[in-house]
Amino acid sequence: MRIALMGQPNSGKSTIFNHVAGYKAVTSNFPGKTVEYTLTKFNLFGQTVELVDLPGTYSLTSFDLAELEARKYLLKGNVDVIINVMDASLLSRSLELTLQLLELKLPMVICLNMIDEAERKGIKIDIEKLSKILGVPVVPAIALKGKGVKELFSVAYKTGEEKRIGKTLNFSKNVEEVIEQLSTQIKKKEIAQEFNVPIRFLALKYLENDSYFIKNFKNTEKNIFNKINYFQNLLREVHGRPPDVVISSERHHLSMNIYESIVSLTRPHTSLIDYLDNILMHPIFGYVFLAFILYLFFNLVFTVGKMVEEHLLDYFYRIIPLIERSIDSETLLFSVISGIIQGLAGGIAIVLPYLFPFLFGLAILEDLGYLPRIAFLLDVFLHKIGLHGKAIIPFMLGYGCTVPAIMATRILESERDRFITSVLATMIPCAARMTIIFALVAFYINPQAALAIYILNIIVVIISGKILSRLLPEVTPGMILEIPTYHIPSLKVVLAKTWLRMKEFIFVAWPLLIAGSTILSLLQYYKADTFINNFFSPLTTLLGLPLLVGTTLIFGILRKELSMLMLIQAIGTSNIATVMSVTQIMTFTIFIIFYIPCVATIAVLWREIGTKRTLFTISFTFVIAIVLATITRFIY
Amino acid sequence: MNITLDLIKEGQKVKVIDIYGGWGIRQRLGCLGIHPGDMITVKKSAIMRGPILISIHGNQVALGRGVARKVLVEVAG
């Protein structure tokens, strides 16, 4: 059996999914974090059940790529039962999607999630009545605490077995007449079978002018499209509004009627958290707090990271001489062993101490629901570079890792915005590059210099944004973004998320790191590194860097943090200050931050924006890196 | 008196009369519960012609200034 989690953004689908799958799908408190579907298999009543977590979608008329993905998946027709996750505190709005899902005539169960939040808002729901009106089972739940999840799946299983389909609710009479007449016309053709959807659903989509269903048939089925036009005009004339508004208003009224018949309102309980927006979204203090929060975050990462790095590095300093005593340092064996140890040390002592507090802090900000607030505050500034507020979400995620940041551009409506945001997101220093900034610049120069790099980075992003939006002049569609209620982050979820993201480093980057440092040891042993370094000498000379930096740049394309760790190994000491000057450290870091995105990023760029634009991004960032690093060399 | 939503002051409650703009914007706003006839409260208005924050059916939505300009509203009372 295959069960699909469907529902509006931020209703808790991924949270339910993770109860079954373990923490596999990233959850956060902002609409649209799931942009791809995730699958898991689990055992239910002795049967293997496949559960799919679909991206949130406001309606079945889809706009952005993530929503489209959810709809496409449902229409593929191999879902046995839908779990429609509704945010109980946003009941009336969620009902509108529910009505559309009912039109698909698939077995469905409703999960009334965040029932506690609804009660806090003073919304009491008659669950039985709702189930009766819609003809589908309704299960209340608090997914964050795992309440009701078990029952939900057993009800879903039963519904899937019985193939129980809900009711189709009727709109007002004259609209129904139009739907019926159009349905009769569609029935004559085989369009509905081709899309694998019920005829009524298709008729509604045509009246709503949904381009997805129209595109391919417009030319081949001229006859029927003339009829569609006729009925659209009929609705327009009778109601004095565009036909899509007529249909969505019908759904809206129906939802409001259902809402009013099943909800009894009591006084909401206000808590301190409701007043948080008074300061965090304040026209002036909002910005002060934003700066303060980010500064605090920066300091936390640095303080924790530095403390741990110093201790661990001391410890590793002592190991190598110990080995030197028992194995001759001129042998191949020594080269290999010291390579492995340096790879290990780099991961434990240099990368992890910064990575953990950073990802932990980011997870807290995400789960609290602060990211959409940042989008609100910075919308004005993003308009100056031709984007709008929502683009801040990919950017913020970019400080964690560029790959999910580029994926997150799917929440943007226009292709141009997605492209510009993707290019800019590759320049945001991800956690890997953050470790370089902290472990090299903040550690060996000073924290202010590290902060300066971040500020310089933002300036470069702004200027690049301006250039790109000049090249692609088009008006951004403007921000429409839901600002969710704050949630107090759960420590368990925050840790699980941090771990999920650290796993990427531990299981992918670290082995690569150890392999890389072993290879470098071998290269050095056989003196092959000289060849590579000579090849890169024009570049390293231009930037005024030591020749041996050349090899490390190749590793940096694999993983950004590799270039730093390889640097440490190449110069043969973890005390970089003895070999490189302050200027060289700064130049190296700035070059590494901007030059060519890592392999994983290139792969995802390729998929999301295509070959030509990926090549453009690579050359664009490379030029910026060279220019900036050369300037740094001479002025810092 | 009918004016566009971007001109409404913080704290004012208004009724949506019409939504200008194309299919996309109508549908998107509709999805968030903003249709002709709905009541909106303006909660925050960012500086420098930034976005506005509205409350609709118990939910908060941020609208860019350009989007808000496309929503025609009537000031209640």
Give the pLDDT mean for A471-478: 84
The C-alpha atoms of residue A124 and residue A131 are separated, in whole angstroms, by 15
Structural domains of chain A ordered from first start? 2-162 (3.40.50.300), 173-265 (1.10.287), 285-635 (no CATH)
Give the pLDDT mean for B47-65: 91
pLDDT at A259: 95
Mean pLDDT of chain B: 90
Inform me whether the pLDDT recorded for A103 exceeds 90. Answer: yes
* A132, A213, A215, B27 from A61: Cα distances, Å: 26, 10, 14, 8
**How many pairs of residues across A and B have Cβ atoms under 8 Å apart?**
126
A106-124 pLDDT, tens per residue?
999 999 999 999 999 899 9
Report CA A54 to chain centroid distance, whole Å.
14
pLDDT at B48: 84
The C-alpha atoms of residue A323 and residue A333 are separated, in whole angstroms, by 11
User: Under 8 Å CB-to-CB from A426, ≥6 apart: which residues?
Assistant: A398, A402, A406, A597, A601, A605, A617, A621
Q: What is the DSSP letter of A36?
A: S
Inform me whether the pLDDT recorded for A100 exceeds 70. Answer: yes
Inform me whether the pLDDT recorded for A152 exceeds 80. Answer: yes
CA dihedral of A439, A444, A446, A451, whole degrees rounded to 10: -40
* A121, A180, A445, A568, A583 from A577: Cα distances, Å: 58, 79, 9, 11, 11
pLDDT at A310: 83
Inform me whether the pLDDT recorded for A145 exceeds 80. Answer: yes
A534-561 pLDDT, tens per residue?
999 999 999 999 988 888 888 888 888 8
The C-alpha atoms of residue A460 and residue A633 are separated, in whole angstroms, by 17
**Residues of chain A positioned with their CB less than 8 A from the CB of B41:** none
Nearest CB to A63; choose among B28, B62, B65:
B28
Binned at pLDDT 50, 70 and 90, residue A419 comes out as very high
Q: Does B22 touch chain A (CB under 8 A)?
A: no
Separation in Å, CA of A23 to nearest CA in chain B = 28
The C-alpha atoms of residue A256 and residue A217 are separated, in whole angstroms, by 35
Q: Which of A481, A485, A486, A487 to mutate to test the interface with B (most CBs of B within 10 A)?
A: A481
A316-351 pLDDT, tens per residue?
778 777 877 777 777 888 888 877 887 888 788 888
The C-alpha atoms of residue A55 and residue A379 are separated, in whole angstroms, by 24
Residue A140 or residue A194, greater confidence: A140
Residue A379 tokens, joined: 């919308």
Q: Does B1 touch chain A (CB under 8 A)?
A: no
Inform me whether the pLDDT recorded for A288 exceeds 70. Answer: yes
Mean pLDDT of chain A: 90
A359-396 pLDDT, tens per residue?
999 999 999 999 999 999 999 999 999 999 999 999 99
A211-240 pLDDT, tens per residue?
888 877 777 777 888 889 999 999 999 998
Binned at pLDDT 50, 70 and 90, residue B77 comes out as low
Nearest CB to B26; choose among A244, A281, A389:
A244
Count of H-run helices and E-run strands, chain A: 31, 9
- CATH assignment of B2-75? 2.30.30.90
Inform me whether the pLDDT recorded for A301 exceeds 80. Answer: yes
Inter-residue contact A44 to A2 (CB < 8 Å): no
pLDDT at A187: 85
Q: Does B53 touch chain A (CB under 8 A)?
A: yes
User: Under 8 Å CB-to-CB from A102, ≥6 apart: which residues?
Assistant: A108, A134, A136, A166, A167, A168, A169
Domain layout of chain B by residue ranges? 2-75
A568-609 pLDDT, tens per residue?
877 776 678 888 899 999 999 999 999 989 888 999 999 999
| ipTM for the whole complex | 0.94
